[in-house]
Structures are given as structure tokens and as C-alpha cells.
Amino acid sequence: MATKKRKKTEMFALGNEAVVEGALLAGCNFYAGYPITPSTEIAEVMSARLPRVKDGVFIQMEDEIASMGAIIGASLAGRKAMTATSGPGFSLMQENLGYACMTEVPLVLVNVMRGGPSTGLPTSPAQGDVQQARWGRHGDHPIIVLSASDVQECLEMTVVAFNFAEKYRTPVILLLDEITAHTREKISIPGSEDFEILSRVTPSMPPEWYVSYEETMRGVPALPPLGSGYRFHVTGLTHDQNGFPTSKPDEVKALMHRQFRKIDQFFYDIQLVDEVNCNDAEVVVVAYGCVARSAELAVHMARERGVKAGLLKLKTLFPFPKTAVQALARQCKALVVPEMNMGQISREVKRVNNGLTHVITNNRVDGQIITPSEIFKNIMQA
Amino acid sequence: MAQVTQLIHDYLRHNKKFPHVYCAGCGHGIVLGSLIRSVHSLGYAKDDIVLVAGIGCSGRMAVYVDFNTVHTTHGRALTFATGIKMANPNLKVIVVMGDGDAMSIGGNHLIHAARRNIGLTTLVLNNNIYGMTGGQYSPTSPEGTVSATSPFGQLERSFDIVDMAMASGASYVARGTVLHATMLDGLISDALEKPGFNLVEILTPCHTQYGRKNKFKTVVDMYQWYKKNTMKLDRYRQLKPEEQAGFTPIGVFRDEMRPGLEVRYEELRNKLQEQR
Amino acid sequence: MPKQHELNRFEIRLSGTGGQGILTLGKIMGQVLAIDHGFNVTQTQSYGPEARGGASRADLVISSQRISYPKPVNLDMLVALSQEACNLYFRNLKPSGFLLVDTTLVTQTPSNIYWGLPFTSMARDKIGLPQTMNIICLGALSHFLPFMNFSNVKKALAGVLPAKILEINVKALTLGYSQAKKLYPDAPEKWTFSSLMTMESEQ
């Protein structure tokens, strides 16, 4: 019995397996997906776990388009739903993901980034989907994009992803990379008292008073599950407060502005970062995903040699943590931005830096992780 | 007439989105009427019905009826519906699609929904054309169809929706037309009561985009065509193959009482959870 | 929880050919060291089609402190279960590191200083089941690595293997351990667990 209890709180798990643990802790009870390397373990573990969860459903769909459709449907029916995919599948999901943005359907999408474009490097890590995660859908819209750099964080950020999805009624993308997803590490599974689980607000007024896309202070309308007596219309067409199609400029504007406002005004809640040795740092590395781990070692190496280096680890990628980056940009003589793409976050860093300090990019696109010594060299030269 | 008015008041969002988008002579309104009569005769509660529609003229049906309505993306209605049904098997999920929706962009979803026998009632409104985008040929346009994108007549063979659904494993398959409205009421009510994936193809005229360019002078000619060229399935099956040419059979093609995926999954879940 | 050894990034690579059970070996070892010995462990591995027949590899970084960079930088130990793997990865071994080879399959070692046991022929001849080769190797490692306790490994095996094949694997584990102990009784004392890190030959 004692061993069983210990196993429940501690586990040697893959990043992908930790995502499942996090999702189940957050109350996920619906998964639809399509097999794709390197995200497949998430589906495999879900298929074994969900039928053992109360009302849990796992379904393997015919493609990623269908997977996204199914989780939107399930979420509208009141479920906490998620899917997981990689590169090509992520591209296929964009159309329906845009629908989820437009109709404000809470859901979680885990994208384990691999080398691209196209089939690319299926078993190698990359961070090339960062801007696609932000802007992959057509049209203007807000979205929350999170990231995790180790296995414990895979669990924690999955919980955060579900909480943000439910709280802000929005799709949330969790961007992992092949290394984080396929590294095994010891994780501790928190007890239910150790963290908060949020669920969407459902209407409490009589059905005839319910306004499905009502303008409110928080900007997040209540969402009842389908079939609960609140009959309303959901459409990907631009809609008025009642959910019916409209093209009246003032109604269109109100919808768009509210959708942006509901995310933007809560930036302090959403923009998550970790700072390591940043207090007195003269050179700050801004990193995310597996590269943040290389950066952490590089910062320690630099400190051993007397260079005041620090790490700003981005856990939220979008909305971009402007406040945290700007504060450090004002204090340090250089920001080093290592990433496994040609500069997708560094362009955000440069945008918010806006001339405050020197920004050094460190890019690698050969399917290999950026090593600590590469970052170390950049810190030393800064 | 008073009875019909009462039904309109009960089932349509009349104060919200009328007049509707359908052209004069369009058959989509007849399908809508038939659906409402079927739902009414079966006594379903409006709260328990989810109407999921795709994109196109048929997709607009979702906005008019006072059910839970989800107007999805083009071709993907079945995927949303699959999620809804798996999430809450107690809901009656009805999917309305057009021929372009169901057979072209959503063809993959249709064959897989049929294969996994998910408990949905699917109405495919087949008017042989992409109406809303201005009359381009669809995968069900007969060979030779003149359309906005086949000005010289299209060269491709067309899909038979019923054959496709049967081959993919749907447990209930039927075909009707908007001319045979009473029969259509029967088919839709029948389908709604069946377990598993059931599909009703409904032939419905689009005179604006299809008829005018393909030798149907008026919309009445199109209804006349349905009258002359469709045949009840039992009679059709008695004919020799050479006599069948030129006729489209209507009726119930398959009626197997097989449980839907959502039921089978619930059984699996119960079994696993009892083991613990 | 026994944790006599203070480790600072001890890096070990298990390498060979797909089908030898290297990924399973890496996973079990990681599990034992992380859960039963209380170390921090990161385990990464080669994925994809090469895991079935081509080169196969599992890496572990073991530390008493938090592990930042999850991949090996300089190997403290290389386990090579094929000649090809031995040739390929020997250069990643640090000068003070140790090489362990399967002498059935690795006939030319790049250095005269190595530990060797005929894992493949032991599995075939002494256990009678070639698939137990990786577990024999695990048994031997629980002798070579002073921070990995044999009885803990044995206990953990019951948790990760199905009951049907447990008995024969415990036999294999014990064989590997006792043979290693017999041939290299002093091996566990040879380690110098340095905390200095050189960053010359990373991968």
C-alpha cells in the first residue's frame, strides 16, 4: 500500500505522458486525435486512461481536421476537451481552430514541434511553429500560446492551459518540442489541494434572458453545455451578441474588440515567465522550451566565470510577455535570444525592446538542440 | 393551415432571421418543413436536439430553427457532430449538409462517420451544384453539366451518395425528394428513430444555379423531372437492368439496427470501470 | 532511500542495435535511479525507424542536483553493445570515463582499458533466452555503478515487467551482477566523481 501511494505522487515519465497526467488533473474528459510523431504517446496514454475516467471519451478521428472538429463539438457539449499533434497536423487544424477562436470555444491543443516545413524532420526537435501558433488562422484574433521546458512543466502547463481555456473561453495552444516531449524525468503529481482547477462560467439566468455573446466587463460570456435548456446559435460567421450572423459595422467591431479585450486586459494573469539570476543580470538570455534548459546551464557557466548572466524563461509566448522583457531590457546591456528557428520569438523581443538594449539572436535549424556552450559563447561576447 | 402556423411559431426563430436566404422554387424550405414535422410527430424536446450544419445554402438552415444549432465550417459538420454525440449520447444530433459539403470537402468525414457508425441522423441536400458560391459544378453534378466552372460541360462522373454511404457502412440509408414531401416526412422520422449512423439523401432543385443552365426552363420542370425520373425502390428492383436506366430509385436502401459507436464506447467504459 | 553518492551530472550512454532492448534498459534504469534511488534523472533516446534494426541509443544524465541541460555533454560511461556503436560513440567518452562492451559483438575496442562481458552469449547459453541480454547488462551495471544498488534494481524489476517473464529476468539480472562482480571485483572503486565540467565535445 505504501509503495502504491508513493507511485501516485512520483513518476518517471515522458513529457508526453506528463501532459496526460496534467490534463486528467485539470479535468480533461474528452480527447480526439490523429497519430503523428512526436506527439503520439499523448494519444496512446489517453486511449488507455480516458475510458477509466468518469464519462471519459477517447476517439481517434480520420484526420487532424476532424480531431479539431470533434473537440470543439465536445467542448460545446460541456466537456473539457483536448487534442495533440505535430507540424503537418497542426497546419491541418488551423481552419477549425479559427472557428474555435471565433465562437470562443474552450479547448487545449498540444503541438509537439518537429523540424519543418512539410514532413521535415519528424523525429527531431524544432521551434518553428511559434508564429504559426500565433497567426496560423486567417483573420484577426487573439489566442493564448504556452510552452514548457521540462517534464514537470509539461504537467503544470497543461493544467494552466485548461484553466486559461476555461477562464477566458478561448483555445489555448501548448507548444512543446520533441526533446521536452520525449525526455523522461521524475515528476511529482500534485494533490488536488495543491492547485486550482477552473471551469467555464455557465449561465445562471433563465434561458429566455440568456444572451450568448453578451458584452460584459470581463468580456467572457457564459457558455452553457448544449442540451441544458439554453438554446442558442453557434456560427463561424461574424455574429451579434445573440450569436446570429451580422455584417453591421458596429456589431462586427464590438465582437472583434471584445474578443481582443478579454485576453489583453488580463495580461498580468496570462503572461507567465520564470526568472533565474535576473536581479543583477547584465546579460539576460530569453528562452523557452528545451532551449531554456541549455540556457540555464549556460547562465551557470557564465556566473562561474564571473559574468552576471540571467535567464528569462518564457512560459507564455502569446500574448507576448512584454512587461517582463521590457523591465530586463532596461536593466541589462544585452538580451540573448537562442531558439531553434530563424528568429520567431526574437522578432517579438526586438519589437518590445524597441531600442532599449542590444538584442543578440542565436538561431539553429539543423534539427539539433542549441547547446549550452553556444549560448555561453554568446553571453561572453555580449 | 392554422396547425402549420402553430408549428412555425413553435419551431422557427421567426422573429430573428427572416426572411430566409432561399430562392423562389428552392427545395430547402420543404426539407426544413419536413424535418420540423418529423421532430414534432416524434415528440422530441427542442432542448434535446442539436442541429449541426455545414456551409452553403443548406447550412443556413441552422439559423432558422429553434433547436441548439451549430453552424460549422465547410465540410466538417460531421466531425463537430461526432464530438457532440460522443460527449453527450443523450442528445439527438441531426446533421444537415449539401452535396458539396458532404461529398467533396467533407467526403472523408462522411465515409468515416458511416464506418464508425456514430449515432447521427444526416440529411444530405443534393441539388447537384454549389449554389451559394454562384453555381459551380459539384461532385454530384451529372456528367455534361454546364455550370460556372464547366462552361463546356463537365467531364467527370458523379458520386452516388446512397452507394457511398452503403459502401462505407452506414446502418440506415434512404433517398427521397422534395417533391415526395409526405414520403420524405416518413423517411426523416424513420431515420431519426434508428440507432447508429443514418443518412437520408434528399434530391432538391436549384433552379437559380443549376436548372437554368441545364435545360430546365422553369423550376416546375425540375419538379416534373423528379416525378418522371424517380421510382419507388421496390418497383425499381423488380425491373431488368436495361429498364432501370434513367430512373433514380427512392426509398429505404438499408435498415440494420446496429448500435452506434457512442453506445458501444459506453459499454466499454462501463466494463472497464466495473473491473476496478 | 539509500543515496550515499553525491553525483553532479553523471552521464551514461547505452548504445547498440535496434532490437537489443536498449530503450527498455534505459527506461528501467532511469526509473530505478529516479524513483528508487531518489536521483534526478533525465533520459533521452533515439526515436524513429532506426529504433527497429538500425543504431539505437538511450542516454541518461544522473545528478543529485537539478538537471538543466537534459542531454549528455561528456560521457562518464559508454555501454556499447555493438561494434558500430562502440566506434561511433567512443569519442564522446571523457578521458576519465569507462567503457563497457558486449565482448560477443564488440571484438575491436578503441582502447585497452575497458570492461567487457559476453552479454549476448550469456543470454543465449546460460539463460536460454536471447531477449534477456539487456537485463543481464542491467545486472552488470548494478555492480559497475556504485550508486545503483542491485537489490533495489531487483525490487524495481517486479514493478516494470509482467509477472509472466519476471522470473527469468531476475535470473538474468542476478547472472549479470554476479559475473561482473567475479570478473571485475574492484570496478566500483575506480570512479572519480568529479564535479568539474568541460564543455569541449558536446552533442
How do the domains of chain C map onto residue ranges? 10-185
Does the pLDDT of residue A160 top 60, yes or no?
A: yes
Number of domains in chain A: 2
The upper half-sphere exposure of residue C110, i.e. CA atoms within 13 Å in the direction of its Cβ, equals 18
CATH of the domain at A373: 3.40.50.920
Mean pLDDT to the nearest integer, A211-230: 96
Domain that holds residue B92: 2-275
Interchain pair B91, A77: CB under 8 A: yes
Determine which of B86, B94, B101, B265 to mutate to test the interface with A (most A C-beta atoms within 10 Å). Answer: B86
Given this model, what pLDDT does residue A8 score? 57
Distance of residue B98 Cα from the nearest chain A Cα, in angstroms: 17
Mean pLDDT to the nearest integer, B243-264: 97
Length of chain C: 203
C43 touches chain A (CB under 8 A): yes
Per-residue pLDDT tens over the stretch A5-23:
444 589 999 999 999 999 9
- Going by C-alpha positions, the residue among C134, C162, C149, C160 that lies closest to residue C188 is C149
Does the pLDDT of residue A156 top 90, yes or no?
A: yes
Mean pLDDT to the nearest integer, A129-153: 97
Does the pLDDT of residue A341 top 90, yes or no?
A: yes
> What integer best gives the mean pLDDT of chain A?
96
Distance of residue A156 Cα from the nearest chain B Cα, in angstroms: 25
Quote the crossing angle between the two packed helices C163-183 and C150-160, to the nearest 10°. Answer: 160
Interchain pair C44, A182: CB under 8 A: yes
A123 touches chain C (CB under 8 A): yes
Distance of residue C195 Cα from the nearest chain A Cα, in angstroms: 13
Q: Is residue A85 in some structural domain?
A: yes
Does the pLDDT of residue A4 top 50, yes or no?
A: no
Given this model, what pLDDT does residue A38 score? 95
Distance of residue C88 Cα from the nearest chain A Cα, in angstroms: 18
3-class SS of residue A17: helix
What distance in Å separates the CA atoms of residue C52 and residue A8, rounded to the nearest whole number?
Answer: 32
The upper half-sphere exposure of residue B171, i.e. CA atoms within 13 Å in the direction of its Cβ, equals 20
Mean pLDDT to the nearest integer, A1-5: 38
Given this model, what pLDDT does residue B6 score? 86
Domain that holds residue A187: 2-194
Chain A positions touching B81 (Cβ under 8 A) are 73
Q: Is residue A101 in some structural domain?
A: yes
What distance in Å separates the CA atoms of residue A166 and residue A197, rounded to the nearest whole number?
Answer: 9
Mean pLDDT to the nearest integer, A153-161: 98
Chain C positions touching A373 (Cβ under 8 A) are 199, 202
Per-residue pLDDT tens over the stretch B186-242:
999 999 999 999 999 999 999 999 999 999 999 999 999 999 999 999 999 999 999
Mean pLDDT to the nearest integer, B28-42: 96
Given this model, what pLDDT does residue A191 score? 86
C160 touches chain A (CB under 8 A): no
* Per-residue CA distances from C18 to A53, A95, C15 (Å): 36, 40, 9
CATH of the domain at A98: 3.40.50.970
In this structure, which long-range contacts are made by residues C159-166, counting pairs with CB atoms below 8 Å and at least 24 apart in sequence?
C159/A3, C160/C27, C160/C28, C160/C31
Interchain pair B108, A62: CB under 8 A: yes
Beta bridge partners of A10: A188
Given this model, what pLDDT does residue A5 score? 42
Mean pLDDT to the nearest integer, A314-334: 98
Per-residue pLDDT tens over the stretch A43-89:
999 999 999 999 999 999 999 999 999 999 999 999 999 999 999 99
- Going by C-alpha positions, the residue among A81, A76, A110 that lies closest to residue A93 is A110
- The letter for the amino acid at A336 is V
B210 touches chain A (CB under 8 A): no
Q: Which of B62, B70, B82 has the CB atom closest to A70's CB atom?
A: B82
Percent of chain A with pLDDT over 90: 96
Distance of residue A96 Cα from the nearest chain B Cα, in angstroms: 7
- A10 and A145 both lie in a single domain: yes
Does the pLDDT of residue B276 top 80, yes or no?
A: no
Does the pLDDT of residue A1 top 50, yes or no?
A: no
Does the pLDDT of residue A289 top 70, yes or no?
A: yes
- The letter for the amino acid at A220 is V
Interchain pair C34, A294: CB under 8 A: no
pTM over 0.90: yes
Mean pLDDT to the nearest integer, A214-223: 95
What distance in Å separates the CA atoms of residue A103 and residue A239, rounded to the nearest whole number?
Answer: 9
- Going by C-alpha positions, the residue among A347, A331, A320 that lies closest to residue A284 is A331
Given this model, what pLDDT does residue C53 score? 61
Mean pLDDT to the nearest integer, A310-334: 98
CB-based contact C184:C143 (threshold 8 Å)? yes
What distance in Å separates the CA atoms of residue A311 and residue A330, rounded to the nearest whole number?
Answer: 15
Given this model, what pLDDT does residue C55 score? 80
Number of domains in chain B: 1
What distance in Å separates the CA atoms of residue C194 and residue C183, rounded to the nearest whole number?
Answer: 26
- A15 and A158 both lie in a single domain: yes
Chain A positions touching B268 (Cβ under 8 A) are 51
Given this model, what pLDDT does residue C50 score? 52
Q: Nearest chain A residue to B15 by CA: give it.
A: A244
- Going by C-alpha positions, the residue among B158, B159, B190 that lies closest to residue B173 is B190
B17 touches chain A (CB under 8 A): yes
Given this model, what pLDDT does residue A49 score? 97
Residue with cell 434530391: B203
Given this model, what pLDDT does residue C4 score? 61
A209 touches chain C (CB under 8 A): no
Residue-level pLDDT, tens digit, chain C, 203 residues: 444 688 999 999 999 998 899 999 999 999 999 999 999 999 998 865 555 567 889 999 999 999 999 999 999 999 999 999 999 999 999 999 999 999 999 999 999 999 999 999 999 999 999 999 999 999 999 999 999 999 999 999 998 899 999 999 999 999 999 999 999 999 999 998 754 444 444 44
**Domain C10-185 is classified in which CATH homologous superfamily?**
Pyruvate-ferredoxin oxidoreductase, PFOR, domain III (3.40.920.10)
B122: buried, middle or exposed (CB in 10 Å: 19+, 13-18, 0-12)? Answer: buried
Q: Which of C34, C48, C159 has the CB atom closest to A123's CB atom?
A: C48
A220: buried, middle or exposed (CB in 10 Å: 19+, 13-18, 0-12)? Answer: buried
Q: Give the helix ranges, DSSP H, for chain A.
A: 2-9, 15-25, 40-49, 64-76, 87-103, 130-135, 151-168, 178-181, 249-264, 267-270, 290-304, 322-331, 346-353, 372-381
B18 or B80: whose pLDDT is higher?
A: B80
- A177 and A293 both lie in a single domain: no
A351 touches chain B (CB under 8 A): no
Sheet with B198-203, side-by-side order of all strands: A233-235, B68-71, B49-53, B92-98, B121-126, B198-203, B172-177, B248-255, B230-232
Distance of residue A210 Cα from the nearest chain B Cα, in angstroms: 13
CATH of the domain at B142: 3.40.50.970
Given this model, what pLDDT does residue C199 score? 46
Determine which of A297, A300, A340, A377 to mutate to test the interface with C (most C C-beta atoms within 10 Å). Answer: A297
B270 touches chain A (CB under 8 A): no
Last residue of a domain, one of A160, A194, A228: A194
Chain C positions touching A366 (Cβ under 8 A) are none
Does the pLDDT of residue A245 top 60, yes or no?
A: yes
What distance in Å separates the CA atoms of residue C16 and residue C24, rounded to the nearest whole number?
Answer: 12
A10 touches chain C (CB under 8 A): yes
| Helix, strand, coil tally for chain B in percent (to 5) | 45, 20, 35
Given this model, what pLDDT does residue B9 score? 86
